[in-house]
Amino acid sequence: MDLIPYSRQSINEEDVSLITKTLTSDFLTQGPRVPDFERALEDKLGVKHAVVCSSGTAALHLSYASAGINEKSLGIVPAITFAATANAMRYQGGSVRFCDVEPDSGIISISSLEESISKIPDEQKENINLIAPVSFAGSVAPLTECKEIAEKNNFCIIEDASHSPGAWKYNKKNEKIYSANGIHALASTLSFHPVKHICAGEGGAVLTNDSKVAEKAAQLRSHGIKRPFNEIDEKPWYYEQEDLGWNYRLTDLQATLGLSQLSRLEQFLTQRRALAKRYDQILKQSPFREHIQCPPFEDGHGWHLYIIRFIDPSLRNQAYKFLKSKNILTQVHYIPVYKHPFYKKNLQEFSLPGAEAFYQSCLSIPMYPDLKQKEQDHVLNSLETFITQG
Ligand SMILES: Cc1ncc(COP(=O)(O)O)c(C=O)c1O
């Protein structure tokens, strides 16, 4: 059996032919495919403005900067996420406070968020502060509750939706909540890294219903330059750099791939959901259920990752090695961000029980649209051999 990664891109002939066309067109960057991709994202995700950029990390940075995050700001970030969710706060000079997650799902814990906010002095609340819920693994974060807490405390919300384009969930009031549609967050961010739902090689997007945030993000993406400065001026070539921005532009080549992939988002979600359902049906039975907990199957889940948890966490590392010996690459999502040396040096003995429990026991097993049934069977059979024979 060939190597089975935990995730990978799905590229078809249409993707290849469209990229080839762009490659021989007039524009490799800053051409028509970038706005085409942006308009298509707006339509598909039901949000007013999409600003595409060079990575999911750039999208977080642009969103935080456009929301006004600065060195006086505080960002509350769930401990289980990719470090970029927190790092973008630091790029702006702001500080980060980690809050805990639910031990069985890795999703931000509302009680921990409330507790974190209750400890913040009132003077800090006069600054521009942020809650950054992550719709982790494809499960939409509790955005309704986050929004209520944010409004009460004068915080804004930027959702890290890198794992969840097209995902939805019912909230406690039985309302259908979509990830990244601009309703619960000031902005949401996507990543177009190859393991994600939509691949552009690298890439990201800021999604928002706020026209000022969109305008600012678009300007900062390209050095902070405003252009056209004044169309009726006799100097039509003129531009000014108003802000200190970056080169976070997406190329037309990447936008072409992103656009082509976006047209298959529903198909990708359907394939991921079918694989998750099959994992769910099998892993809930013996001999798996005595050793493994699988995430509850939800129809609207985006299933970017399929994360199992070992009831005896000491089995997790052995399982990783055993599966690797069977040509199956799994991964741990994530090491709590506060454990990384960059954050640890300021936090000393800091630890959060939900994040630790999740981290110790979790393992992401293969999940991607082109995973074939016989490959999924190989994963399940190998896992069964590990559990029953060690
Ligand atoms: C939750 C989360 N946020 C942000 C990022 C950063 O995205 P990118 O790799 O496109 O910069 C990732 C990518 O792994 C991610 O998983």
Give the atom of ligand 1 at the shortest distance from the alpha carbon of 191: 10
Q: Answer whether 165's CB lies under 8 Å from 126's CB.
A: no
CATH fold of 265-389: Aspartate Aminotransferase, domain 1 (3.90.1150)
pLDDT of residue 297: 96
Q: Is 286 exposed, middle or buried (0-12, 13-18, 19+ CB in 10 A)?
A: exposed
Taking CA atoms only, the protein residue closest to ligand 1 atom 15 is: 82
Tell me phi and psi for residue 108, to 5 degrees. Answer: -45, 135
3-state secondary structure of 134: strand
- Cβ of residue 334 lying under 6 Å from some atom of ligand 1: no
Distance 203 CA to ligand 1 centre (A): 10
CA-closest candidate to residue 73, choices 57, 97, 95, 106: 95
Give the atom of ligand 1 at the shortest distance from the alpha carbon of 55: 10
Residue 1 has pLDDT above 90, yes or no: no
Distance 87 CA to ligand 1 centre (A): 11
3-state secondary structure of 4: strand
pLDDT of residue 346: 83
Per residue in 109-145, pLDDT (tens digit) is 999 999 999 999 999 999 999 999 999 999 999 999 9
Give the atom of ligand 1 at the shortest distance from the alpha carbon of 57: 11
CA distance 32 to 350: 48
- Cβ of residue 159 lying under 6 Å from some atom of ligand 1: no
Mean per-residue pLDDT, 282-303 = 97
- Cβ of residue 53 lying under 6 Å from some atom of ligand 1: no
pLDDT-based confidence at residue 146 (cuts at 50, 70, 90): very high
Instruction: Break the chain into its structural domains and give their ranges.
Output: 13-262, 265-389
pLDDT of residue 230: 63
Tell me which amino acid residue 382 is.
S
Given this chain, do its domains 13-262 and 265-389 carry the same CATH topology? no
- Cβ of residue 307 lying under 6 Å from some atom of ligand 1: no
pLDDT of residue 62: 98
CA distance 306 to 342: 28
CATH fold of 13-262: Aspartate Aminotransferase; domain 2 (3.40.640)
Per residue in 304-346, pLDDT (tens digit) is 999 999 999 999 999 999 999 999 999 999 999 999 999 998 8
Give the atom of ligand 1 at the shortest distance from the alpha carbon of 304: 16
Distance 37 CA to ligand 1 centre (A): 19
Percentage of the chain exceeding pLDDT 70? 98
Mutational pocket test of ligand 1: of 52, 57, 87, the residue with most ligand atoms within 8 Å of the beta carbon: 57
